[in-house]
Chain A
Amino acid sequence: MAPDTGNQILSNGKTRGRPGGLLTGPFALIGRAAISWINDLGAWAIFLVLGLLKILHPKQAFRVIEQIYYIGARSTMIIMLVGLFTGMVLGLQAYHALVKLGAEGALGTLVALSLVRELGPVLTAIMITARAGSAITAEIGIQRISEQIDALQTMRIDPLGYLVTPKIMASIISFPLLTALFDLIGILGGYISGVLLLGANAATYQYRVQASMDAGDVVHGLIKAVVFAVIVSAVYCYQGYFAHMRRDSHGAKAVGLSTTSAVVLSCVLILVTDYVLTALLI
């Protein structure tokens, strides 16, 4: 005998739920969403750990170097450009604000600390996500829907080790390096706008940059960069790798939606993680 679900079977064969369904419905919806979210989080964490463990494969070094080129080296120009203008805008805004307080001498401190501790890691991570992360999600997603990942499995090539691990490792190496470059160019940008264009004192700017920063600030920024690298690289690889399992679409559309999800989720996670890390490291 079928268990009593409390549902009433109507003459047309459809069922009508308990009268309380209207009230419990939203809770059930939230519950299902929460369980699904926790499931996804668990799957993502396992994906990340497995991805990292595969670094021990003997042929991994070459693949990692190749990915450093795609993720890191080819992002250099855009990182320099964004770093330069971020520094210039920062110098411009900060100079006018500091002049009102008669503290324009602190321009170097403000620019350097803002960039090294916050803006550098965050903007670098967001820019790499936008440039390389979206491409990686699309690439892995297409490989998934065109059975290239299945083909790897049939050839006894571990798809995680072959496709995902090099990208995560390359991100872990590239993010801090590009962050450092961003910081450097940003400070230069602050110098251009604050000193060369607005007339702040050059020696004071340089002195303040050097004097206000210690190794802790740099480490603080680089820790953020590494954490962002781990999180977002796993997100964009995960989204591509499981593009075929999306419930809302299939095929090319699934790859497109996965790419969008990867970029949005990565950006949100960068900002949330940034807050958590700042609170922990400050």
Chain B
Amino acid sequence: MVTPLIEFQNVTKRFGPKTVLERVNLQIFEGEITTVIGLSGGGKSVLLKHIIGLLKPDEGTILFRGKPLSGMKKNEVSASFAQMSYMFQDNALFDSMSVYENIALPLRETTNLGKTEIDRRVLARIEQMELQDAAHKYPSELSGGMQKRAALARALVTDPRIVLFDEPTSGQDPVRKNAILSMIAQYQKKFAFTAVLVSHEIPDVYFISNRILALYDRAIVFQGTPEELENFDHPFKDEVIRSLEGLQEELTGLHSRRQFRVQYHAQLKHRSYGETYSVVVFTLEGLDAITARLGHEAAQEAIRSMGVYIDKHFGAIGGFSTRRHANEFVTVLPYSNLTETESILKDFVDDFQEEGIQEIWAGARKQAASEVCVEFTILAGIAQGQPIMEINSVVDSAKHQQKEIARLRCDLGR
């Protein structure tokens, strides 16, 4: 059995008479993105601060790679914490220092690196976070999004093995919110660190998380994948998930996954045997290339434009859609069989090739950090379902049928 990187065993924390965490048990595994979800003021940040040692539990044990922190020598504890980095909810940037100085601070103070090497590392992070114009500005002169990116750059500049993010997207608009999450996912893959996020951005965090921890009523009530959370039956789902997950996804305006399921059950589950419906699965291939060459915000804007276009076309004929993964959309046509759907999709493809793909490209270009052209492809697949079938199996079947319906080519401009 794999030893968790971090494990809480019956951790309790009180502030005066108020118990914030009560007998919390959880495991965080190496190399994964783990997200702690829960209501505001529910103790998520307190939990995160225990991991990095800013707070100590009143009861219980925290284990790091299987060893209790309380039993470690001071230098061992210090070495464990040295592998971690923390991004604060309100950024905690030093307001009397420029962005460059903020990012350089941990390198200057905790390493023996020379000025040239520090310059190189800091400038690399500044470039990765698209902060070149802000390098010599003070945090108070920056927008909220830029401050977040500066804080993220500072958290990553020491190449930590574990990065803790406390509400990294708070106060951001939907495009920036998803851009930051996408940035975290990208860097987590690139630098292979373990990420622990605290967030109530549901469902946005599902797209990047390997594991979800649900904090409810002072304890962890669920640990598992986002898919497993879908089948989790607990008051947490009614009280927390429903209150956090709106009816619409913020970025695209499509149904949230919960609302999508509600629609699915309301429109299809009660129908009689033999009646059919169709599912179309769309995928934007090349999102990583857009991200790499035009930036995270451009990629999210492309996703947003694609969602809006799908909704505009299929919503008008009674279909309902949701975003299933970061670059994947599912549309249900409740009253269409396979033949009708093929015909509808053909019309859609004609329109899409004519203007849809250009709208996506225009959306991406609006937020682009550079003028370069990036090729990308849109795939679509259809499957027919029946009320007795599970929606996921129909969606998987449609995904297997996917083929290219449009491509943006830089040499032709479309």
Which positions 143-202 of chain A face chain B at CB distance < 8 Å? 143, 146-148, 150-151, 153-157, 162
Most chain B beta-carbon neighbours within 10 Å: one of A154, A156, A157: A154
B224-267 contact mask (Cβ, 8 Å, vs A): 1 or 0: 00000000000000000000000000000000000000000000
B52's partner among A143, A147, A154 (CB-CB below 8 A) is A154
- In angstroms, Cα B82 to Cα A23, docked, is 56
- Complex: chain B residue closest to A161, CB-CB: B109
Which positions 65-110 of chain A face chain B at CB distance < 8 Å? none
- Complex: chain A residue closest to B151, CB-CB: A151
Inter-subunit contact B90/A147 (CB<8 Å): yes
Inter-subunit contact B105/A156 (CB<8 Å): no
- In angstroms, Cα B93 to Cα A10, docked, is 53
Which positions 116-150 of chain A face chain B at CB distance < 8 Å? 139, 143, 146-148, 150
B92 adjacent to chain A (CB < 8 Å): yes
B412 adjacent to chain A (CB < 8 Å): no
Inter-subunit contact A155/B110 (CB<8 Å): yes
Residues of chain A within 8 A of B106, CB atoms compared: 155-157
Inter-subunit contact B54/A156 (CB<8 Å): no
Q: Looking at chain A, what size class is its interface with the partner chain? A: 10 to 19
Which positions 74-121 of chain B face chain A at CB distance < 8 Å? 78, 81-82, 84-86, 88, 90, 92-96, 105-106, 109-110
A59 adjacent to chain B (CB < 8 Å): yes
A162 vs chain B, min Cβ distance (A): 7
- In angstroms, Cα B78 to Cα A151, docked, is 15
- In angstroms, Cα B49 to Cα A139, docked, is 24
Residues of chain B within 8 A of A150, CB atoms compared: 49, 54, 88, 92
Inter-subunit contact A154/B105 (CB<8 Å): no
Inter-subunit contact B90/A146 (CB<8 Å): yes
Inter-subunit contact A59/B88 (CB<8 Å): no
- Complex: chain B residue closest to A151, CB-CB: B92
Inter-subunit contact B109/A162 (CB<8 Å): yes
Residues of chain B within 8 A of A157, CB atoms compared: 105-106, 109-110
- In angstroms, Cα B85 to Cα A177, docked, is 42
B92's partner among A146, A156, A162 (CB-CB below 8 A) is A146
Inter-subunit contact A155/B109 (CB<8 Å): yes
Inter-subunit contact A148/B110 (CB<8 Å): no
Residues of chain B within 8 A of A154, CB atoms compared: 52, 54, 84-86
Inter-subunit contact B86/A148 (CB<8 Å): no
Residues of chain B within 8 A of A162, CB atoms compared: 109
- In angstroms, Cα B82 to Cα A157, docked, is 10
- In angstroms, Cα B95 to Cα A151, docked, is 13
Residues of chain A within 8 A of B84, CB atoms compared: 154
Given A148-B94, A150-B54, do A156 and B88 touch, yes or no (CB 8 Å)? no
B88's partner among A139, A143, A151 (CB-CB below 8 A) is A151
Residues of chain B within 8 A of A156, CB atoms compared: 78, 81-82, 106, 110
- Complex: chain A residue closest to B108, CB-CB: A59
Residues of chain A within 8 A of B95, CB atoms compared: 146, 148
- Complex: chain A residue closest to B110, CB-CB: A156
Inter-subunit contact A153/B54 (CB<8 Å): yes
- In angstroms, Cα B158 to Cα A56, docked, is 24
- Complex: chain A residue closest to B106, CB-CB: A155
- Complex: chain B residue closest to A157, CB-CB: B109
A244 vs chain B, min Cβ distance (A): 12
- In angstroms, Cα B94 to Cα A146, docked, is 9
B279 vs chain A, min Cβ distance (A): 46
- In angstroms, Cα B94 to Cα A139, docked, is 11
B237 vs chain A, min Cβ distance (A): 32
A154 vs chain B, min Cβ distance (A): 4
Which positions 32-83 of chain A face chain B at CB distance < 8 Å? 59
Residues of chain A within 8 A of B88, CB atoms compared: 147, 150-151
- In angstroms, Cα B90 to Cα A93, docked, is 57
- Complex: chain A residue closest to B54, CB-CB: A150
- In angstroms, Cα B53 to Cα A150, docked, is 10
- In angstroms, Cα B93 to Cα A67, docked, is 21
A159 vs chain B, min Cβ distance (A): 11
Residues of chain A within 8 A of B96, CB atoms compared: 139
A180 vs chain B, min Cβ distance (A): 30
- Complex: chain A residue closest to B107, CB-CB: A155
Inter-subunit contact B109/A151 (CB<8 Å): no
- In angstroms, Cα B151 to Cα A155, docked, is 12
- Complex: chain A residue closest to B109, CB-CB: A157
- In angstroms, Cα B106 to Cα A139, docked, is 20
- In angstroms, Cα B95 to Cα A139, docked, is 10
A42 vs chain B, min Cβ distance (A): 21
Q: A148-B95, A155-B110, A157-B105 are in contact. List 7 more A-B contacts (CB 8 A).
A: A143-B94, A147-B92, A150-B54, A153-B54, A155-B85, A155-B105, A156-B106
30 residue pairs A–B, Cβ–Cβ below 8 Å: A139-B96, A143-B94, A146-B90, A146-B92, A147-B90, A148-B92, A148-B94, A150-B54, A150-B88, A151-B92, A151-B94, A153-B53, A153-B54, A154-B52, A154-B84, A154-B85, A155-B105, A155-B106, A155-B109, A155-B110, A155-B158, A156-B78, A156-B82, A156-B106, A156-B110, A157-B105, A157-B106, A157-B109, A157-B110, A162-B109
> Would you list the 10 A-B pairs with minimal beta carbon distance, nearest first?
A151-B92, A154-B86, A147-B92, A155-B106, A157-B109, A147-B88, A156-B110, A148-B92, A154-B52, A150-B54
